[in-house]
Amino acid sequence: MAPTALVAPANSAFAETSDAGKPHPAVKLYTVDKPFQPDAHAGATETAVALKYFPGEVNTEVARTLKPQATWHPLGYVGDPANFDKVDLKNWADAHFEFLKDNIVAWLAAKNGKKETAAERK
């Protein structure tokens, strides 16, 4: 199923612009029109990532029973872990890798005292 929700995450890994000054576009992270927000910790996205990379460590039966919550209290998560299967992990990974690439290139350019060119950014 193709993702339909455009979400510009305001959580830890994303900023409005990278260190390179390049704006980050909205990222299609979910396959539902209106995903629960915020999705800050142990919600749909982090549960989906944990399931992909550590499948034996995620109890999906329990995750599917958890109700969305917007604050840490009382259960220690912020998001909707039950909808982990509604996260488009390919788009999530692509956005993270692009973000990291931009920032690493900018950091290396600053470290070496030169401005990067568009060709170097690719």
pLDDT band of 13, cuts 50, 70, 90 = very low
Q: What is the mean pLDDT of the chain?
A: 78
Question: What would the two tokens of residue 91 be?
Answer: 């788009």
For residue 17, list its beta bridge partners.
23
Q: Where is pLDDT greater, at 88 or 23?
A: 88
Q: What angle do CA 29, 42, 27 make, to 5 degrees?
A: 15
Kindly state the percentage of the chain with pLDDT values over 70: 70
Which of helix, strand or coil describes residue 69? strand
Give the pLDDT confidence score for residue 58 in this predicted structure: 96
Amino acid at position 81, single letter: P
Question: What would the two tokens of residue 108 be?
Answer: 């290396």
Amino acid at position 61, single letter: E
Quick: pLDDT tens for 43-87: 999 999 999 999 999 999 999 999 999 999 999 999 999 999 999
Question: What would the two tokens of residue 40 be?
Answer: 């800050």
The structural domains of the chain, with segments of one domain joined by +, span: 27-86
Q: Among positive and negative, which fits the CA dihedral 93, 98, 99, 101? A: positive
